[in-house]
Homo-oligomer: A and B are copies of this chain.
Amino acid sequence: MRIAEPTVERLVQYGRLLESLVAKGKKVVSSKEIGDMLSFKASQVRKDLSYFGEIGKRGVGYPVEQLSRHIGQILASPRQWSIGIIGVGKLGEALLGYLSFHNEKFRIEALFDADCGKTGKEIQGIPCFHSDEMAVRIREKAIDVVILTVPAYAAQTVADSVLKVGTVKGILNFAPFALTVPEDVFLISMDISVELEKLLFFLKHKE
């Protein structure tokens, strides 16, 4: 069955919330409670959860632990994904710190930078290679996903050469540039300046 992007986004949040409810020892939760905590409509929550079978008990709610396990399975990976971060500026390092905790779903396998001052050593335990070695190392480490934290002017060139290797199937792009990628590559762009401009635009229109 096909499952829509907004649904997956919410599913990840349900998963996170349910884990915290398990930790708190809550036994049962209703769609309304979940909705209130995550700012979704109760009907939305029910629809989302019903896509994956009937877990709730009518007149009662959803058993917290069982639902948490269930969502965990839906989001589970078939194997541990291999991730590379390209661009070890402040943002790249921040993301590395943020993602380097132990996680069964993925592992940061390599860092890349064009600055020789950063290459050749390990940063937070992850080897940092020079961009010249990118193709070789990406193939060697079978990188599945790259996180792009390079300047805007370099983003498209870097993306193109990364994708030429053929192992990379997804890109998380932080560069403020609208990348063009083949349609079989999954691209998510997180553009801070676009989001900020959006926010300022709506602020203006409310004043």
Contacts and interface: CB of A to CB of B under 8 A. Distances in A.
Interface string A95-111: 10111000001100000
B99 A200 contact: no
Interface stretch (A41-49, A127-135, A157-165, A168-176): A168-176
A60 interface: no
Nearest to A81: B200
Contact of A206 (B89, B169, B176, B192): B169
Interface string A101-127: 000011000000000000000000000
Q: What interface size band does chain A fall in?
A: 35 or more
Contact of A178 (B5, B13, B75, B89): B13
Contacts of A55: none
A106 B188 contact: no
Contact of A192 (B75, B98, B105, B106): B98
B145 A199 contact: yes
A91 interface: yes
Contact of A199 (B99, B180, B188, B193): B188
Given A202-B170, A203-B169, A75 B197 contact: yes
A77 interface: yes
B81 A203 contact: yes
A200 B17 contact: no
Contact of A9 (B9, B169, B172, B194): B194
A201 B22 CA distance: 23
A78 B207 contact: yes
Interface in A148-192: 169-170, 172, 176, 178, 180, 184, 186, 188, 190, 192
Given A190-B190, A198-B9, A203 B98 contact: no
Nearest to A37: B178
By Cβ-Cβ distance, the 3 closest A-B pairs, closest first, are A90-B94, A91-B94, A94-B94
Given A144-B203, A145-B200, 9 more contacts: A5-B198, A5-B202, A17-B178, A39-B180, A90-B98, A91-B98, A99-B196, A145-B196, A186-B202
